[in-house]
Each structure stands twice: as structure tokens, then as C-alpha cells.
Amino acid sequence: MSAEKLDKSKTLFLRKKHVGPSCKIFFSQDPIKIVKAKGQYMYDENGQRYLDCINNVAHVGHCHPDVVQAGAEQMGTLNTNARFLHDNLVLYAQRLQATLPPALSVCYFVNSGNSRNLCPPLNRSSEANDLALRLARNFTGHDDIITLENAYHGHVSSLIDISPYKHHQLPDAELRPSVHVVSAAPGGVHVNQTVHSRIHPFVYTPTSELAMLTNSGGGGYLGTEIQNLFQSSAQAPSPDVYRGRYRADHPDPAAAYADDVRELIDRAHEKGRKIAAFIAESLQSCGGQVVPPAGYFQQVAAHVRRAGGVVIADEVQVGFGRVGSHFWAFQLQGADFVPDIVTMGKPIGNGHPMSCVVTTAEVAQAFASSGMEYFNTFGGNPVSCAIGLAVLDVIGKEDLQGNAVRVGRRLSDLLEALKRKHPLIGDVRGRGLFIGVELVKDRLTLTPATAEAQEVIYKLKEEKILLSADGPHRNVLKFKPPMCFTPEDAELVAAKLDPVLTELEEVLGLKPLDVPNVGKDRSKRTLSDEHQQHHDGIGAPHPASAPKRIRKETNSRITPAAD
């Protein structure tokens, strides 16, 4: 094809030679070369079509002609920085504001997407989330940030960007010299708790102990890494009603998870710390497509605001109508929840690098009063804003929110039907075109079927379907396709998934569940019900036998994960 300029082997050769080896490629054993894309389809160098279930960045469809035209025209007219007045900037800000509650009226335009390091929980950051934390700290005069377990928005802000190491993998030898110092510190926290706070999320880790931890004994690189990691940050449990600490059988998981946040705040206060912000993805994405129980954010917001903090909703992955019923995923919680700051990215420019932070006039004014100028070379340039406007136009003109509702429902119905047949599917959850399918070896113990999830991804690739697996155990199949996804696309994926699951279950010795008419299921139970039943009681005995012939080294292969 004309779009291919080099033989694939030459492309691979040059990539190995000139591109950082830390920049992984999908399906590294047999990577795909994509030369063009249209709508929900991508094409390789041989013209082979792939159904794209993963690229939420190509929000209104790959290479949408309206978006391309808007970008091209503006590129040919003017592309400069936001220190000159330009209509595109203000028109886009106005249009964006109109999608949000009135209080969220002031925009900051930045441009980086999320950069990610596949080493949970130190994963993502973006200029947008960094700026959000800065706004919060400035407004409140407080320092400390509460994030969710498994969160991926660079949750200790840009600090994490230079703190790449897995803190829970630090060798004991590196930690031991510091234990004493930490224990000796006034109000000290035991270092083992501290370092394992990801697993024991109730350990509050203020700056002081960690800072001292690095100064004595440990020294050097790892020390400061740890310090950066924990500085002014604490993690609340992920509000995951399938696998989390309060599950679907809990009488009020929203209140219970929110109470955990309140408790974190109390512990912070006991130590003289003050809360600047709570930041969470409105639906956790890389964290495993987690849908928080309704009312959770309202209650968290009450606790956080009582402590003088603000609430930041990260819509980088899930905003712009993907959830179907609402334009923003935080709105799923109800009209009585309004964050103080919202961050946006990925789909905002349909692939063009741009992102945005929206906040209240009060927060913005406080930031301005600090006397700081904020300038971003590329942020809010006329081309980015022209593209952003075109994306909003297409979402409206093509009723992509309505499509997300309709196709999302069809897809989740089909997946629910598969769940009734396949013991490997532990949970189906999500909203609109943001759906997760959690694979487990055992529905009672919830043993993650990690290798099996990777196998599913590889098998579907052979069927020319691009899907991803993510979550803390990498066992959640993750649907976040371009918003022009059709019912037929959904049916194709379900049809291809069915035999792959059967094959894996045979290997595991799992017996199919006794449900007739799979594939023809028209269950009325949809994912738009706020409270899903997560343990439906359908469960044959599950022998804990090891898989017999799962592809070797599955875990080490790079398969599509979140971007």
C-alpha cells in the first residue's frame, strides 16, 4: 500500500536501532504495522482490516473528515501561542463550559497526553493533572493529596514522573537502615507499613517520615525515589464492589468507601497534615474499569471539603460522552455532585495532542492572585482549539452519546450472556462504551485469570480484533472503542470471544455453565442500572487446576493495555 514506505522488517530494524527500548510495542512477538485507519477500523500494510476496541483517543472515529478538515484549514491559516487573542480559544472554552455545571467555568489549556509507566501504582501523569494538583494546593493552602488505590493519573503529581521504581519491589536491604530512623521520628510510621501502603492503604504517609527516611543510611537514589513517591500523598481503597473491601453484598458500599476516605483524613489531621485534594478518575480505567457505587463521590466530597480540600475529577479516559447517558462520567453520580476541578485529555482532540483543566472562578482567581503566570507553548493554540471544536460538533451531529447508550447496551447484553455461559467471566461492568470484563479462575475466590486474559487478547488479534487487558491483575478485558462502534461490531466481538473462552475453560478444566440460548440473549438487565449484582450465584464447582497449555511467557508479552 502506498502508505507504507519501508518493508516491515526494515521498520522493525530501525525501531530497534533508534527508538528507546522502553517504548514497548503491541504484540511484541508479532507486532502490527498499521498504515491507515477509518472510523472504528485500522488497516495493516497488507490491507488487512482490524476492528478497534481499544483506541478511545480516536473518539469520534479514526481520521474523521470533519476533524481533519478543521485541523488542516487552521494549520494553513494560523498556529501560534495563546498570548495572542484568538477566537478559537474562547469559543472552545465557551463550548466546553456549556457541557459542564455552571460553576466550572474557567479553562486552562495544556497539551500533553498521559505518559505512562507500566509499573503500578506509579503510572500516569499529564500536564492536566499536574496543573490540577497545583491549583488545588494553591487554593487550599494545603499540601496533601488523596488518591485511589490503583490510580493512574500520576497521582502524586509530577513528583512521580521522576520516581519510576516499584517501591514494593525494593530489596529489603535497601529499606532496613531506614526503619529505625522512621521509627525514631516523632509520630513516626513504621517503614514496612509505609512502603507497603499500596497494599495497606490506610497507612498515612506524610512527607516528614519519608524525607527523614532518605536522609540517613539509605541515601542515594532509591531513598529519594521513595520520598518522592509518598510525599504528601495517601491512597484510599478503590471503590470496587466486585473485588474491593466492600462488595455488592454490602448494605451501603458508597458510604463505606467514603468513610475510608474520611478516616484517612482524620489520620492526616492527627499528624498535623492538611488535605489539599482528593483526585480520582470518574470511572477507574487502568485500575480495572471500576464503577464506583452511586453516591460515593458526593460523600467523599463532603468529607474532603469539610477538611478544606477540593475534589478533582479525572475525565482523561472517560469523558466526552463515552458513558452515553451523560457527557462526563462524574455526572453518573447524580446532579448533586460537582467537582471543583475537572481534567480532560485523550479523546478531546481525536488524537491531536491537547488536554484541558476546568475549574471554578474562585480556584482560578486564587491561582492568579499568587502572582504566577502560567504559560504553555502549545496549549490552547488555534489548531488544537479548531480540532476540539470539530470533535464537539461531531459528537453532537452524529449523536455519538446516543450511540454509546445503544451500542453499549447491546455489547454489555452480549457480554452478560457470555458470562452466563462462561465461568471464566467473573464480572461485566461499565457504562456506555466503557466496559470491563473481569476474568477469574474461580468465581468464589476471584483468583485473577491473568494469563488467560492475555491469551484472549492474542487469540482475538488472530481474529483481527484489537482488545486490551488491564487492571491491577491485568485480567480485565477492556472495551473503549471509537464512539462510532456499531451493534454489528459488538456482535462480532462477542461471537469471536465465545469460542476463545470455551477453549481456555477446557484447558483450565472449568465446565461451561448451564445456560441455553447464549448469543441470543436479550436480557433487559443492562449496565445502566446503578447497582449491579456482582455475585449472581451462578457458579459450578471450579477445580483449581493449573492451565495445561496456556502459551508460555504470556505475562511477559506486551499486549494492548491502557493508553
Footprint (CB under 8 A) of a copy of itself, residues 30-89: 31-37, 42, 55, 57-58, 62-63, 65, 67-68, 71-72, 75-87, 89
Residue 477 CA to residue 2 CA, distance in Å, equals: 34
Query: With respect to a copy of itself, which residue has the nearer C-beta, 42 or 417?
Result: 42
Nearest CB to a copy of itself, comparing residues 18 and 552 = 18
Which is nearer to a copy of itself, 274 or 305 (by Cβ)?
A: 274
End-to-end CA distance of the chain: 27
- Which of residues 32 and 492 has its CB atom nearest to a copy of itself in the complex? 32
Query: In 3-state terms, what secondary structure has residue 437?
Result: strand
Tell me which residues in 531-550 interact with a copy of itself (CB under 8 A): none
What type of residue sits at position 415? L
Distance of alpha carbon 210 from its chain centroid, rounded? 28
Q: Which 377-436 positions form the footprint of a copy of itself (CB under 8 A)?
A: 377-381, 383-384
Interacting span for a copy of itself (CB under 8 A) from 1-9, 188-196, 439-447, 490-498: 1-9
The residue ranges of DSSP E strands in 455-529, in sequence order, are: 465-466, 468-470, 476-479
**243: closest CA among 551, 534, 545, 35?**
534
Return the range that interacts with a copy of itself (CB under 8 A); candidates 27-35, 277-285, 293-301, 510-518.
27-35
Size of interface with a copy of itself, in residues (CB under 8 A): 136
CA-based nearest residue to 16, from 3, 25, 5: 25
Tell which positions 249-308 bind a copy of itself, by CB under 8 A: 272, 274, 276
Binding window for a copy of itself (CB under 8 A); candidates: 26-34, 195-203, 245-253, 408-416: 26-34
Please, what is the minimum distance in Å from the beta carbon of residue 95 to a copy of itself?
10
CB closer to a copy of itself out of 30 and 399: 30
| 263 SS3 class | helix
- The answer to whether residues 221 and 182 touch, using CB atoms and an 8 Å cutoff, is no
Strand pairing class (310-314; 341-344): parallel
Per CB under 8 A, the list member of 178, 194, 227, 333 interacting with a copy of itself is: 227
- Give least dist CB 314 to a copy of itself, A: 14
CB of 34 to a copy of itself, least distance (A): 4
Distance, in Å, from the CA atom of 295 to the CA atom of 337, rounded to the nearest integer, reads 8
Name the phi and psi angles at 72, rounded to 5. Answer: -65, -45
Q: What is the smallest separation between the CB atom of 465 and a copy of itself, expressed in angstroms?
A: 15
H-state helical runs in 398-432:
400-421
Contact segment (CB under 8 A) with a copy of itself among 368-376, 417-425, 487-495, 527-535 equals: 368-376
What character string, x for contact with a copy of itself (CB under 8 A) and - otherwise, covers 495-534? ----------------------------------------
In this structure, what C-alpha cell is assigned to residue 303?
468529607
Q: Near a copy of itself by CB under 8 A, which window of 19-27, 391-399, 494-502, 503-511?
A: 19-27
- Count Cα neighbours of 323 within 13 Å in the Cβ-side half-sphere: 28
Q: Which of residues 437-496 bind a copy of itself (CB under 8 A)?
A: none
Among 17, 520, 548, 549, binds a copy of itself (CB under 8 A): 17
Report the residue number, 2 or 522, with the smaller CB distance to a copy of itself: 2
Scan residues 176-215 and list those touching a copy of itself (CB under 8 A): 207-208, 211-212, 214-215
Whether omega for the bond prior to residue 121 falls within 30 degrees of 0, making it cis, is yes
CB atoms within 10 A of CB 397: 10
Closest CA relative to residue 357, chosen from 115, 100, 60, 57: 100
Query: For a copy of itself, which is the closer residue by CB, 34 or 492?
Result: 34
- By CB under 8 A, what part of segment 104-163 binds a copy of itself? 105-119, 125, 127, 130, 133-134, 137-138, 141-143, 157-159, 161-162
**Part in contact with a copy of itself (CB under 8 A); list of ranges 16-24, 414-422, 449-457, 513-521:** 16-24
- Nearest by Cα to 429 from 254, 288, 234: 288
Residues between 332 and 361 that touch a copy of itself (CB under 8 A): 345-346, 350-354, 359
CB of residue 200 to a copy of itself, shortest distance in Å: 23
Q: How far is CA 360 from the centre of its chain?
A: 24
- At its nearest, how many Å lie between a copy of itself and the CB of residue 457? 13
Q: Tell me how far the alpha carbon of residue 464 is from its chain's centroid.
A: 24
Q: In this complex, which beta carbon is closest to a copy of itself, that of residue 174 or of residue 491?
A: 174
Q: Give yes or no for a contact between 147 and 123, defined as CB atoms under 8 angstroms apart.
A: no
Minimum Å gap between C-beta 15 and a copy of itself is 5
* Residue choice 46, 48, 94, 183 for contact with a copy of itself (CB under 8 A): 94
Give dist(CA 295, CA 284) in Å, integer: 16
Q: Provide the grid cell at 69.
A: 478538515
Considering only residues 371, 516, 537, 541, which one is a binding residue for a copy of itself as defined by CB under 8 A?
371
Residue 422 Cβ vs a copy of itself, minimum distance, rounded to whole Å: 28
Min dist. Cβ of residue 28 to a copy of itself (A): 10
* Smallest distance, a copy of itself to C-beta of residue 264, A: 18
Q: From 110, 85, 87, 106, select the one nearest 97 (Cα to Cα).
A: 106
Dihedral angle over CA of 234, 235, 236, 239, nearest 10: 160
The answer to whether the Cα torsion of 296, 299, 303, 304 is positive or negative is positive
Alpha carbon separation from 222 to 168, 169, 173, 226 (Å, rounded): 12, 11, 11, 6
Environment class of 15 (CB within 10 Å of its CB; exposed 0-12, middle 13-18, buried 19+) = middle
